Amino acid sequence: MCETNGSAASNGTNGSNGTNGTAPVRRSNPYQSNPGEFLSNVGRFKIIESTLREGEQFANAYFDTQTKINIAKALDAFGVDYIELTSPAASEQSRLDCIEICKLGLKAKILTHVRCDMRDVQMAIDTGVDGLDIVIGTSHFLREHSHGKDMAFITKAALEVVQYVKDKGIEVRFSSEDSFRSDLVDLLSLYNAVDKIGVNRVGIADTVGCASPRQVYELVRTLRGVVSCDIETHFHNDTGCAIANAFCALEAGATHVDTSVLGIGERNGITPLGGFLARMVVTSPDYVKSKYKLSMIKEIEDMVAEAVEINTPFNNPITGFCAFTHKAGIHAKAILNNPSTYEILNPEDFGLTRYVHFASRLTGWNAVKTRVTQLGLTMTDDQVKECTAKIKALADVRPIAIDDADSIIRSFHLNLQNVANNS
Amino acid sequence: MCETNGSAASNGTNGSNGTNGTAPVRRSNPYQSNPGEFLSNVGRFKIIESTLREGEQFANAYFDTQTKINIAKALDAFGVDYIELTSPAASEQSRLDCIEICKLGLKAKILTHVRCDMRDVQMAIDTGVDGLDIVIGTSHFLREHSHGKDMAFITKAALEVVQYVKDKGIEVRFSSEDSFRSDLVDLLSLYNAVDKIGVNRVGIADTVGCASPRQVYELVRTLRGVVSCDIETHFHNDTGCAIANAFCALEAGATHVDTSVLGIGERNGITPLGGFLARMVVTSPDYVKSKYKLSMIKEIEDMVAEAVEINTPFNNPITGFCAFTHKAGIHAKAILNNPSTYEILNPEDFGLTRYVHFASRLTGWNAVKTRVTQLGLTMTDDQVKECTAKIKALADVRPIAIDDADSIIRSFHLNLQNVANNS
């Protein structure tokens, strides 16, 4: 079973995992991500949280210093491994905010994201960050239309900058931009070169959101065989695959995943922190629950949503308003017997609760029966079925609220009593 | 390159594809979904649009008859292959609406989704639909906690029902529920049995949203070798992989994908129509553009969003308010030179437009220079750079609107003129 198997992937055991896992199905279904795959890091990944860098590139984002500090502290309390900040070269206030956040003394390491340019690098080092994320475009698109440099120049600049940052004794990552539209040989040669001089991480970035899961798996798996350093991955969501691509990158041996709260970033953004952890907690429940404070996801999302003046999407994993709402009759019936029938995520893991929707024409008598009990009333199954028919009849005419359904149940129950008393 | 390669996947040629594809990168990067894979249907898939079935199970959904008709007509005009409706057994109005929609004479085939139960099946056939989507739970969870039937019973019922529907001369699909937590041997045996008697499609359903892309690929590829009929797939989005899973299912040989507008459905829903087509138009632009009226996506999403009283998510692929907004200076610069640098989707394909955000501290002088030209003003590059510094300075203090930036530009330009006139 997905999550039980995932549990194994993360800790090699077949224990219960809090998302209703049980053994039988796991034994019966071999089509799961294989915990035996030595490449896979689905049970030991690190998060580079980029709400304060990629997220600041979101159309609506303007973070004043205090807001940045609040977000950084919340992410640190949540348990992210790294917090990435906008380049101090972007503006004077960006530089001052970098210095401020470095002074907070957070557990998370502070990174800033800078162009492969010695002036930007020096300015970044001077802010006191724990590490630099160096980036340069390598696709022919960016080489022609952005910085206009060739691969020889890029490699030379990369080696100079990486060596310089290493000599300063701080962490350094070197990433290409638009990796999936870059020449593979160029890419591997470049990464091989920076790996040889001891770069901490190389980065694969799907800057335009064109990559698909199996492409990601293939590229990362190949890179894993070329470099010995860590592999960071960054996925944009233009084609809706940012969470899946991050997952497949980990399966192929990537070690770090970039996220932002609610996925905010350039265009429609990147891998969202909450959605990514919904995927990972199903696959590696023990690792994820022991490392990240999942009950904070909602408050962190609310904090950022308010700061950038957006609403949490109705369909957001975990925190979408209906993520744990069950409506169709057959779903409601099974959920009431055992939540694991229609839930792979356990709302309690996120400090949230389940809701079984019974006030609609799709409802079933099992859902109504539960409501009858909740209202402290007593009916036979046949009576509940008759009452359910009345609810469906009204719901056929117009949308009905819980109150409407409750009224129908109560009046139906009242009639039953009157009939009993009068007989 | 992703989309050029995809173009090849869809039509075997290496033509330009309207999403800025060019040949060089394709030749240089082998890590793409391989058009040579004989299994892949990424260039010849069919859409089963389930907004009027799965979508009606969304917490907020209540569709009156006229709304259902409007949605059905819009989906038909858009070009979906099938429209799936709520079971007529759900309620009397659901039954009447089935009959009504069948009478519309749409190009799309009309399906309804019913339990593997002869009464429901007969009621469905009597509505005049073109086909039935039969479903029954096969996971041990559903067998124990929902219908309580064993596999022998399920197989017997499946064969009876499928044969009965076939004898009536209409299309029939047989699907398991919760396929990814079902016993693989049970699943393959069951599908093999219904395939032998000529079922039109078998369905794989990730009812709880637990599946990951490579699991989907493996399961569908195996099933592809066991049955000769079409393979329909249905993916819930609880862990954010519904679009990616549908894509990998097609790569493995699935023929049909279930979608709903904005992904509305039980809990946080299923593969969204728009997001799925964002993925597919990048991979198979010629096929998608020739078959589906992409410029209708926004109006269809707006129609459904209004009907169920939700907002289009800020980060929705294609139609999210910032899907084609570019903010960071280096992005803006490149986009202005050539949109394909940071766009894999062409907004014009969807009747939408690009916006380069220049009123922020992350802006660059190239973006400002474009704005200066848009405002009909003339400045040297040095003057634009000086003006850009003023914009960044204000944007450091508070969020600024386009008007603010325009004012700065205009006043800066005015000063230039005064200086010129006074000299």
- The ipTM assigned to this model is 0.87
Q: Does A388 touch chain B (CB under 8 A)?
A: no
Contacts of A237 in chain B (CB under 8 A): 315, 317
pLDDT score, position B10:
35
Q: What is the DSSP letter of A237?
A: -
Q: Which of B185, B217, B341 sits opposite A146 (nearest CB)?
A: B341
Interface of B with A in 119-148 (CB under 8 A): 137, 139-142, 144-146
Domain end: A279, A307, A335, which one?
A307
Better-scored residue on pLDDT, B31 or B181? B181
Q: How far is B81 from chain A (nearest CA, A)?
A: 22
Reported as a single tens digit per residue, the pLDDT across A16-70 is 333 343 333 344 556 555 555 689 999 999 999 999 999 999 988 999 999 999 9
Residues of A in contact with B94 (CB under 8 A): 361, 396
pTM given for the model: 0.87
B319, B312 Cβ separation under 8 angstroms = yes
The C-alpha of B322 sits at a distance from chain A's nearest C-alpha, in angstroms, of 5
Q: What is the pLDDT of residue B269?
A: 97
Identify whether A206 is part of a domain.
yes
pLDDT of B34: 58
Give a yes or no: residue B182 inside a domain. yes
Q: What residues of chain A lie within 8 A of the CB of B276, using their CB?
A: 240
Q: Does A386 touch chain B (CB under 8 A)?
A: no
Strand partners, B82: B48, B109
**pLDDT tens digit string along A316-325?**
999 998 898 8
Catalytic residue among B326, B331, B357, B413: B331
Render pLDDT for B59-70 as a digit per residue (tens, 0 to 9): 889 999 999 999
Residue B22 located in a structural domain: no
Lowest mean pLDDT among A410-419, B118-127, B257-266: A410-419
State whether B241 and B331 are in the same domain.
Answer: no
Half-sphere exposure (CA, 13 Å, Cβ side) for A369? 16
Question: Counting one residue from A and one from B, how many pairs have CB atoms under 8 Å apart?
Answer: 352
Strands (E), B207-294: 230-235, 256-259
Using pLDDT thresholds of 50, 70 and 90, give the confidence band for residue B18. Answer: very low
Backbone dihedral region of B12: left (phi > 0), alpha (psi from -120 to 50 degrees) or beta?
A: left
Q: Would you say residue B94 lies in a domain?
A: yes
How far is the alpha carbon of B97 from chain A, nearest alpha carbon, in Å? 11
Q: Looking at the domain assignment, is residue B36 inside a domain?
A: no
Query: What do you get for the CA distance between the two ends of chain A, in Å?
Result: 55
**Looking at the complex, does the CB of residue B34 fall below 8 Å from at least one CB of chain A?**
no
Q: CB of A393 within 8 Å of any CB in chain B?
A: yes
Diameter of chain A measured on Cα atoms = 97
CATH number, domain at A92?
A: 3.20.20.70
Query: Is A190 in the same domain as A282?
Result: yes
Domain count, chain A: 2
Q: What's the whole-number mean pLDDT along residues B188-217?
A: 96
Average pLDDT, chain A: 88
Residues 6 or more apart whose CB falls under 8 angstroms from that of A192 comprise A226, A227
Q: What is the pLDDT of residues A130-151, one digit of tens each?
A: 999 999 888 777 677 766 678 8
pLDDT tier for residue B147 given thresholds of 50, 70 and 90: low
Q: How far apart are CA B62 and CA B60, in angstroms?
A: 7
- The answer, for B217 touching chain A at a CB cutoff of 8 Å, is yes
Cross-chain Cβ contact B345/A238 below 8 Å? yes
Is residue A291 domain-shared with residue A406, that is, in the same domain?
A: no
pLDDT-derived band of residue B9, with 50, 70 and 90 as boundaries? very low
Same domain, A250 and A393: no
- Position B270 scores a pLDDT of 98
A161 and A244 both lie in a single domain: yes
Task: Mutation target for B interface from A214, A270, A352, A392: give the one with most B CBs within 10 A.
Answer: A214
**Considering the domain boundaries, does residue A12 fall inside one?**
no
Is B331 among the residues known to form the active site?
yes
A313-327, B227-241, B318-332: which range is least confident on average?
A: B318-332
User: Between A29, A181, A212, which is nearest B184 by CB?
Assistant: A29
Least confident piece of the model among A95-104, A236-245, B31-40, B48-57: B31-40
Task: Let me know whether A173 and A294 are in one domain.
Answer: yes
Is residue B317 scored above 90 in pLDDT?
yes
Model pLDDT, residue B21: 38
Interface contact A23, partner B, CB < 8 A:
no
* Chain A contact probe: residue of B17, B239, B306, B402 with most A CBs at under 10 A: B239
Q: Does A278 sit within 8 Å of B239, measured CB to CB? A: yes
pLDDT of residue A11 exceeding 50, the answer is: no
Confidence (pLDDT) at A32: 59
The pair phi, psi for residue A49, each rounded to 5°, is -85, 120
Q: pLDDT digit string (tens) for B257-270?
A: 999 999 999 999 99
Specify the pLDDT at position B29: 58
Low-confidence winner among A191-200, B193-202, B383-392 (lowest mean pLDDT)? B383-392
Do B365 and B216 share a structural domain?
no
Residues 6 or more apart whose CB falls under 8 angstroms from that of A66 comprise: none
Distance CA A113, CA A90 (A): 10
Q: Are residues A90 and A220 in the same domain?
A: yes
For residues B299 and B374, membership in a common domain is answered with: no
**Are B337 and A248 within 8 A, CB to CB?**
no
Q: For A345-368, what is the mean pLDDT?
A: 86
CA distance B55 to B303: 13
Q: Give the gap in angstroms from C-alpha A186 to the nearest C-alpha of chain B.
A: 9
User: What residues in B contact A25, CB-CB < 8 Å?
Assistant: 139-141, 181-183
CA distance B159 to B149: 15
Q: What is the pLDDT of residues A37-51, one digit of tens each?
A: 689 999 999 999 999
pLDDT-derived band at B146, boundaries 50, 70, 90: low
Whether pLDDT at B185 is above 80: yes
Decide which of A260, A281, A307 is a domain's last residue.
A307
Whether residue A17 lies inside any domain: the answer is: no
Question: Do A182 and A212 belong together in one domain?
Answer: yes
Whether A268 is in a domain gets the answer: yes
Read off the pLDDT of residues B92-113 as tens digits, 9 standing for 90 and up.
999 999 999 999 999 999 999 9
Task: Measure the CA–CA gap between A75 and A79, rounded to whole angstroms.
Answer: 6
Average the pLDDT over A292-311 and give the result: 94
Q: State whether B160 and B242 are in the same domain.
A: yes
Range of the domain at A356: 325-422
Q: Touching check for B66 and chain A: CB below 8 Å?
A: no
pLDDT for res B337: 77
Verify whether the Cβ–Cβ distance B241 to A244 is below 8 Å. Answer: yes
Identify which of A76, A94, A2, A10 has the alpha carbon closest to the alpha carbon of residue A44: A10
A64: which chain B residues are within 8 Å (Cβ-Cβ)? 398
Give the mean pLDDT of A334-348.
Answer: 84
What's the distance, Cα to Cα, between the start and end of chain B in Å? 55
Question: B interface mutation test: which of A342, A350, A358 has the most B CBs within 10 A?
Answer: A342
A378 and A232 part of one domain: no
Asked which of A257, A278, A307 is the last residue of a domain, the reply is A307
Asked whether the CA dihedral A339, A342, A344, A345 is positive or negative, the reply is negative
Please judge whether A395 and B91 are an interchain contact, meaning their C-beta atoms are less than 8 angstroms apart.
Answer: yes
